[in-house]
Amino acid sequence: MTSLTNRKTQVERKPMTAMEKLYLPAIIKGMGITFSHMFKKNPTINYPEQVRPFSSVFRGLHILNRDEEGRERCTACGLCAVACPAEAITMEAAERQTGEEHLYREEKYAAKYEVNMLRCIFCGLCEEACPKDAVYLSQTFAPANFGRQGFIYKKEDLLIPNPVTDPEGFAKAKGSIPQAK
């Protein structure tokens, strides 16, 4: 039979020599190998203290963006929800009242914006669909939770910190979105 790979080797069936039957040389050789591993650098990352950086194109949790004045960019057009192949995004639109111009950028805004992180496949199509630069995928992932309800992220969970009142948090969150830099 021809081999599927060319890595096939014939197993040697010849009887062991007296030296091989002693096993001791082989054991000492093996111990040399294990001992040499004592001085090898190990690849462990001490996780909670050290975090391995994600690749720059990593797609993680969603972030709802604000503009420079701290107003929400989202107009609840629903394009992200339409683009979503997993149907993870739910939203309800509302009309901006007078006096709320400092909160919402456009006349219409999302009163409710939920992403079900258990449904989401982190494909990034919502990000591409958004005409208002409002939704981005960040470099973080959803932490573990005991209940399903905990994986449905509300608008408050998704919104980026306000650049006017919390510039530090905003910069930090912004840093986690590579495309928006």
Partner 1 sequence: MYLLQIDGWFILEKFILIAAIVTTALVVAMYSTYAERKIAAFLQDRRGPSRAGPFGILQPLADGVKLFMKEEVIPLVSNKFLFVLGPMLAMIVAMMTSAVIPWGSTIDIAGRQVPLQIADVNIGVLYIFGVVSLGVYGIMIGGWASNNKFSLIAAIRGASQMISYELAMGLALIAVLMVTGTLRMSGIVSHQIENGWNIIYQPLGFLIFFICALAECNRTPFDLPEAENELNFGYHQEYSSMKLGFYLFAEYINMFISSVLMATLFFGGYDIPFVNEAAWGDAWWVGLVGFATLMLKAFFFIFLFMWIRWTVPRFRYDQLMNLGWKKLMPLALVNMLITAVVVLLLQK
Among 37, 53, 99, 181, binds partner 1 (CB under 8 A): 37
Contact flag: residue 38 with partner 1 (CB under 8 A): yes
Please count the helices (runs of H) and the strands (runs of E) in the chain: 6, 5
Contact flag: residue 17 with partner 1 (CB under 8 A): no
Burial of 150 (0-12, 13-18, 19+ CB in 10 A): middle
Query: Nearer Cβ to partner 1, position 4 or 28?
Result: 28
Choose one: 26-34, 93-101, 116-124, 172-180; the region binding partner 1 (CB under 8 A): 26-34
3-state secondary structure of 160: coil
- How many residues lie near partner 1 (CB under 8 A)? 13
Closest separation in Å from C-beta 40 to partner 1: 6
Find out whether 163 and 89 touch, Cβ atoms under 8 Å. no
Token output for 99: 């006096």
Contact flag: residue 47 with partner 1 (CB under 8 A): no
Residue 47 to residues 53, 56, 61, 127: CA-CA distances in angstroms? 11, 20, 19, 29
Choose one: 35-43, 64-72, 133-141, 162-170; the region binding partner 1 (CB under 8 A): 35-43
Query: Nearer Cβ to partner 1, position 13 or 37?
Result: 37
**C-alpha closest to that of 108 among 121, 92, 95, 123:** 95
Residue numbers at the binding site for partner 1 (CB under 8 A): 27, 30-31, 33-35, 37-38, 40, 42-44, 46
